Amino acid sequence: MTSIAELPLSIQISKKLEDDIIYGVYSPGAKLDEQELCERYGASRTPIREALKLLAAEGLVEIRPRRGAIIPTINPLTLCEMFEVMAELEAMCGRLAARRILPEEKQELMRLHDLCRDYLNQNDSENYYEANRLFHFAIYQASHNAFLIEQACNLHKRLHPYRRLQLRVNNRMNHSFSEHNDIVEAICAGDEQRTEDLLKAHVVIQGQKFTDFMSTIESHPLQ
């Protein structure tokens, strides 16, 4: 799997800017000046603009005609509601995957699970998240319900910055991997109800851990 440092510059910048937005370096309503971003991230305008487009697709940035990019106001209640819906969508994907997963899809799911283990052992939260993201997408695909896959992928993309950062909560990667292990076992055993219950709990916990993470930021804001 490609490491973070090997990703295109625009994606590297989008991840740094993503952190800065969530950490509060840029406040809701703030306009993002391209020249300032170029200086902060040491890049030309082209990758900066590409990064802004990536973040706009995730809802972290709004690009307005003749006004440029701004940071939208993020409603914490809306985030909680999105995590609730994500938990239900993932649970449904898991239940169907336990019933419909193909042998080659099981192999891919286990390969991604092993990849998560490798990054866990390296204490590499960034690449763990990337492998984790593919792990969840593999479960969506194994549901073999095209409409459900589309909805789950779209909401996952909206929530991905917050799912990524919650891994920085103390010992969250270890717990995440342990939860994945139970999910893989349930899917491979064809246990639909257990898979549904495990995935719902897994995503609900992610929302809770993100709230914990944000609380620590508010208590110790960046200077």
d(CA 197, CA 215): 27
C-alpha dist (Å) from residue 24 to 73, 84, 142:
12, 24, 37
- Residue in the structure block whose two tokens are 């993100």: 210
- How many CA atoms does the CB half-sphere of 41 hold within 13 Å? 27
Buried (b) or exposed (e) across 165-174, using 16+ Cβ within 10 A? Answer: bbbbbeebbe
pLDDT tens for the 223 residues of the chain, in order: 556 667 899 999 998 998 888 766 887 788 999 999 999 999 999 999 999 999 998 888 999 887 789 988 767 788 888 888 999 999 999 999 999 999 999 999 999 999 999 999 999 988 898 899 999 999 999 999 999 999 999 898 888 777 777 777 778 889 999 999 999 999 999 999 999 999 999 988 876 666 665 555 455 444 4
Ordered domains of the chain (ranges, CATH): 4-70 (1.10.10.10), 76-219 (1.20.120.530)
The predicted structure's pLDDT at residue 13: 94
Q: Is the pTM of this model over 0.85?
A: no
pLDDT given for residue 108 in this prediction? 98
The residue with tokens 């239900």 is: 88
Tokens found for residue 222? 């960046």
Largest interatomic CA distance in the chain: 55
Nearest to 162 by CA among 13, 21, 7: 21
Q: Which amino acid is at 103?
A: P
Contact 70, 61 (CB under 8 A): yes
**pLDDT at residue 218, as a whole number:** 52
Which pLDDT does position 223 carry in this prediction?
41
- Helix and strand totals (H; E) in the chain: 9, 3
Q: What angle do CA 211, 199, 111 make, to 5 degrees?
A: 110
What pLDDT, on a 0 to 100 scale, did the predictor assign at position 132? 92
Would you state the pLDDT for residue 163? Answer: 78
pLDDT of residue 7: 83
